[in-house]
C-alpha cells in the first residue's frame, strides 16, 4: 500500500495532522504502538488527569457548601468509582479518535513504526510480524515520556510517574511530589483533595518555572493555605524502599546537610523528555538537537527531505494544543498551503483550584528583552460575580507595550482561568491592544470582567478599584 503521508504516533500532534491532511485530500496512514489512539494526552495525560481533577474538586467542594447555605452530610470517597469515571472518560475520547480516522478514511496500523529509508516505514506488530509501507512523506509525532530521576527507581506502585499517580488504588497518607511543575501540582492537588498530606520538593527556588514570577509566588501561597507544603531549593537524592514507608533523602540544591522525609508514595514529576526510541533515526540520519529533540526547520522538515516532525518530540512547550497546531500546519504545508504556528500566542493552563492560565510574555521575559511595558492588575476580590461564587482568590495581570499599547502577555490565577485566557489569545493573534480589550463589552456579572478591568488598568485606569 502506498500513501501520501504516514504519521508515526497518534497523540494530539499525530492524529490531528492525519485528519487535517485527509481533509485536504491526502491518502494518510497512522502508525501507533499503543493499543488505542490518542497518545499520552488522551490515554495517560491531559484527559485522565482532568477527569480526576474535576472529580476531586467536586469532592472537596461538597465538603464546603455551608458558606452557600447548603447543608450536606460529609461526602464519602468512592475511589474505585472515581477511577472508573476517569477510565470511561479516556475510553470515550480514544474511541472518538478511532471514529474520526474511519470517517476520514485514514488507515490505522497498530505496531511500532520505524523508518527504514525516506518513504519507507516498517510496522512491527506485537507478535513480531512486520510489514513495510510506502509513502511520499513521513511525520514523526512520537511525543515524550517522563524524565527519570537519577538514583530513584520507578515501580509505578509506590514510586510513580504521572502514569502511576493516575491509578493509585488507595489514597496515600503522605505523598512526596518531586517537581513543582504543572503535572506535579495538578496530581498533587488530586491526592491532597482526597486526603493525602502532600509535600512538594523542588530543585529551583520557585514553583512553576517559566511562568510569571509574581503569579507563581501568589499561587504558591494559595496552595499552602490548602495544605500543600513546599521544600524549594531542595533536591531528592535517593529513596529507600526497604521499609513499610518510603524514606526519601533530600538536601539543599546548593549543597548542605541531608535529611530524610517519609511517605507512602513518591511522585516523580521533574519533566518529560522527547521519545525517539526504536524509530531508526540513526539509520536514516535524522539529526537531533542538544536535548535529543528532533531538529526541524521552519516548515517542520528534518535534515532528511520528506521526513517531518511535530509535537513533544521537537522543541517548544510540551503541550497538546501546540502539538495539534503543528499537526495542522505540517498537513497544510504538505498539501501545498502555507501552514504556520504563532508561538507568541500559545496559552498554558494549570488545572488546579484555582486555575492558572497564561499567554505571551512574563514580566521577567520583558525585562530580559529590554522591552518597556505597562502592567495592569485586577483582583477577583473586587469582582461581583467572584464574590457571589465565593471565588475571590486570584487576580488578572495584563502586560502591554508601553509605547504601542499592544498586548504582550496575560496571566490569570482564578476559578475558570483556563477558559478565560482565550480572549487574550485571540486578541494577541490579531495584534490587539490593551485599549481594544478594555473597550470590548464584557457581560456583567462575569469573572471575565476582571480581564477588562486589568486591561483598563494597563491602558488608563480601572473603574471598579
Ligand atoms: C499527566 C499529564 C497531564 C498532561 N496534561 C496536559 C494538559 O492538561 N494540557 C496540555 O496541553 N498538555 C498536557 N500534557 C502534555 C501532553 O500530553 C503532551 O504535550 C501531548 O500529548 C504531546 O502530543 P504528541 O502528539 O506530541 O505526543 P504524544 O501524545 O506523546 O503521542 C505520541 C504517541 O506516539 C506513539 N509512539 C511513540 N513511538 C512510536 C513508534 N515508534 N511507533 C508507533 N507509535 C509510537 C506513542 O505510543 C504515543 O501514543 C500532559 C501530560 C501528562 C503526562
pLDDT tens digits along 32-52: 999 999 999 999 999 999 999
Same domain, 8 and 81: yes
Same domain, 372 and 254: no
The pair phi, psi for residue 235, each rounded to 5°, is -120, 150
For residue 64, give the 3-state DSSP assignment.
coil
In a domain, 163, yes or no: yes
Q: What pLDDT is recorded for position 9?
A: 98
Q: Which ligand 1 atom is at minimum distance from the Cα of 311?
A: 26
Which segments of 63-161 does DSSP mark as H helices, in order? 79-103
Find the 39 Cα to ligand 1 centroid distance in Å: 5
CATH value at residue 451: 3.30.390.30
- Mark which of 326, 341, 356 sits at the end of a domain: 341
Distance of CA 73 to the CA centre of its chain: 35
In angstroms, the CA 147 to CA 196 distance is 24
pLDDT tens digits along 106-122: 999 999 999 999 999 99
In a domain, 278, yes or no: yes
* 448 touches 454 (CB < 8 A): no
Same domain, 306 and 400: no
Which residues are within 8 A (CB) of 353 and not within 5 positions of it... i.e. 6 or more apart? Answer: 57, 60, 189, 193, 226, 415
* 139 touches 302 (CB < 8 A): no
Q: Above pLDDT 70, what percent of the chain?
A: 100
Nearest residue by C-alpha to atom 45 in ligand 1: 9
Same domain, 238 and 204: yes
Which segments of 250-315 does DSSP mark as H helices, in order? 281-284
The pair phi, psi for residue 280, each rounded to 5°, is 75, 25
**From the CB of 9, is ligand 1 less than 6 Å away?**
yes
User: For cell 457548601, what's the residue?
Assistant: 65
| Helix 12-23 × helix 320-334 angle, to 10° | 30
**From the CB of 46, is ligand 1 less than 6 Å away?**
yes
Q: pLDDT confidence of 396, banded at 50, 70, 90?
A: very high
Classify 300 in phi/psi space as left (phi over 0), alpha (psi -120 to 50) or beta. Answer: left
Distance of CA 3 to the CA centre of its chain: 32
Nearest residue by C-alpha to atom 15 in ligand 1: 319
pLDDT tens digits along 304-334: 999 999 999 999 999 999 999 999 999 999 9
**From the CB of 112, is ligand 1 less than 6 Å away?**
yes
Quick one: cell of 9? 504516533
**From the CB of 49, is ligand 1 less than 6 Å away?**
yes
User: Mutation test of ligand 1: which of 29, 30, 41 has the most ligand atoms closer than 8 Å to its C-beta?
Assistant: 41
Same domain, 74 and 61: yes
Same domain, 266 and 281: no
Q: What pLDDT is recorded for position 189?
A: 98
For residue 106, the 8-state DSSP code is P
Domain hosting 26: range is: 2-146+273-341
**From the CB of 89, is ligand 1 less than 6 Å away?**
no
- Judge whether residue 1 has pLDDT over 80: no
In a domain, 465, yes or no: no
User: Domain total for the chain?
Assistant: 3
Share the mean pLDDT of the chain.
97
Which string of DSSP letters, residue by residue, matches 353-382? SSEEEEEE--HHHHHHHT--EEEEEEEGGG
- Judge whether residue 273 has pLDDT over 90: yes
**From the CB of residue 363, how many other CB atoms can be counted at a distance below 10 Å?**
18
Q: Which ligand 1 atom is at minimum distance from the Cα of 318?
A: 19
- Mark which of 318, 341, 364 sits at the end of a domain: 341
pLDDT tens digits along 183-219: 999 999 999 999 999 999 999 999 999 999 999 999 9
- Of how many residues is the chain composed? 465
Same domain, 115 and 20: yes
Same domain, 62 and 137: yes
3-state SS, one letter per residue, for 187-244: HHHHHHHCCCEEEEECCCCCCCCCCCHHHHHHHHHHHHHHCCEEECCEEEEEEECCCC
What proportions of the chain, in percent to the nearest 5, are helix, strand and coil? Answer: 35, 25, 40
In a domain, 445, yes or no: yes
Same domain, 264 and 132: no
User: Mutation test of ligand 1: which of 18, 42, 45 has the most ligand atoms closer than 8 Å to its C-beta?
Assistant: 45
- Mark which of 291, 312, 341 sits at the end of a domain: 341
User: For cell 492537588, what's the residue?
Assistant: 189
Q: What pLDDT is recorded for position 5?
A: 98
Find the 353 Cα to ligand 1 centroid distance in Å: 24
pLDDT tens digits along 59-83: 999 988 999 999 999 999 999 999 9
Find the 146 Cα to ligand 1 centroid distance in Å: 10
Same domain, 165 and 137: no
- Judge whether residue 409 has pLDDT over 90: yes
User: For cell 496530581, what's the residue?
Assistant: 187
Same domain, 283 and 391: no
Interval 91-98 mean pLDDT: 98
**From the CB of 143, is ligand 1 less than 6 Å away?**
yes
User: For cell 521519545, what's the residue?
Assistant: 275
Q: What pLDDT is recorded for position 63?
A: 87
In a domain, 151, yes or no: no
Quick one: cell of 417? 482561568
The pair phi, psi for residue 54, each rounded to 5°, is -65, -50
**From the CB of 40, is ligand 1 less than 6 Å away?**
yes
Same domain, 218 and 359: no
In a domain, 153, yes or no: no
Q: Which ligand 1 atom is at minimum distance from the Cα of 276?
A: 38
In angstroms, the CA 186 to CA 207 distance is 12
CATH value at residue 242: 3.50.50.60
Q: Which residues are known catalytic residues?
A: 444
- Judge whether residue 279 has pLDDT over 80: yes
Amino acid at each position: 500500500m502506498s500513501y501520501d503521508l504516514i504519521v508515526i504516533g497518534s497523540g494530539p500532534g499525530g492524529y490531528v495532522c492525519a485528519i487535517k491532511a485527509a481533509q485536504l485530500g491526502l491518502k494518510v496512514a497512522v502508525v501507533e504502538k499503543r493499543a488505542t489512539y490518542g497518545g499520552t494526552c488522551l490515554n495517560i495525560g491531559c484527559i485522565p488527569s482532568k477527569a480526576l481533577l474535576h472529580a476531586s474538586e467536586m469532592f472537596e467542594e461538597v465538603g464546603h457548601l455551608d458558606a452557600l447555605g447548603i447543608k450536606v452530610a460529609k461526602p464519602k470517597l468512592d475511589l474505585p468509582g472515581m477511577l472508573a469515571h476517569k477510565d470511561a472518560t479516556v475510553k470515550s475520547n480514544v474511541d472518538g479518535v478511532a471514529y474520526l480516522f474511519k470517517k476520514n478514511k485514514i488507515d490505522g496500523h497498530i505496531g511500532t513504526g520505524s523508518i527504514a529509508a525516506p518513504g519507507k516505514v516498517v510496522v512491527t506488530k506485537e507478535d513480531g510480524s512486520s510489514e513495510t509501507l510506502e509513502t511520499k512523506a513521513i511525520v514523526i509525532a512520537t511525543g515524550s515520556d517522563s524524565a527519570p530521576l537519577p538514583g530513584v527507581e520507578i515501580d509505578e506502585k509506590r514510586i510513580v510517574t504521572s502514569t502511576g499517580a493516575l491509578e493509585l488504588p488507595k489514597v496515600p497518607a503522605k505523598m512526596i511530589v518531586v517537581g513543582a511543575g504543572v503535572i506535579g501540582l495538578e496530581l498533587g492537588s488530586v491526592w491532597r483533595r482526597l486526603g493525602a498530606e502532600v509535600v512538594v520538593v523542588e530543585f529551583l527556588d520557585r514553583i512553576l518555572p517559566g511562568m510569571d514570577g509574581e503569579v507563581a509566588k501568589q499561587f504558591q501561597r494559595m496552595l499552602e493555605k490548602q495544605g500543600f507544603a513546599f521544600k524549594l531549593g531542595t533536591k531528592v537524592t535517593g529513596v529507600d524502599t526497604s521499609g513499610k514507608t518510603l524514606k526519601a533523602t533530600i538536601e539543599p540544591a546548593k549543597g548542605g546537610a541531608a535529611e530524610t522525609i517519609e511517605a507512602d508514595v513518591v511522585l516523580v514529576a521533574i519533566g518529560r523528555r522527547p521519545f525517539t526510541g526504536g524509530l531508526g533515526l540513526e539509520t536514516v540520519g535524522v539529526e537531533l538537537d542538544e536535548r535529543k529533540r528532533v531538529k526541524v526547520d521552519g516548515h517542520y522538515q528534518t535534515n532528511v527531505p520528506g521526513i517531518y516532525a511535530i509535537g513533544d518530540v521537537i522543541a517548544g512547550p510540551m503541550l497538546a494544543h501546540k502539538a495539534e497546531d503543528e499537526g495542522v500546519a505540517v498537513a497544510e504545508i504538505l498539501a501545498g498551503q502555507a501552514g504556520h504556528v504563532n508561538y507568541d500566542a500559545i496559552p498554558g493552563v494549570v488545572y488546579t483550584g484555582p486555575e492558572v492560565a497564561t499567554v505571551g510574555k512574563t514580566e521577567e521575559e520583558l525585562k530580559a528583552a529590554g522591552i518597556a511595558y505597562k502592567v495592569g492588575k485586577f483582583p477577583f476580590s473586587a469582582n461581583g460575580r467572584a464574590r457571589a461564587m465565593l471565588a475571590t482568590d486570584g487576580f488578572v495581570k495584563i502586560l502591554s507595550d508601553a509605547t504601542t499599547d499592544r498586548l504582550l502577555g496575560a496571566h490569570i490565577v482564578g476559578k475558570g482561568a483556563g477558559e478565560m485566557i482565550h480572549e487574550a489569545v485571540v486578541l494577541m493573534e490579531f495584534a490587539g491592544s490593551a485599549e481594544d480589550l478594555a473597550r470590548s463589552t464584557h457581560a456583567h456579572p462575569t469573572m471575565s470582567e476582571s480581564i477588562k478591568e486589568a486591561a483598563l488598568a494597563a491602558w488608563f485606569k480601572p473603574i471598579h478599584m
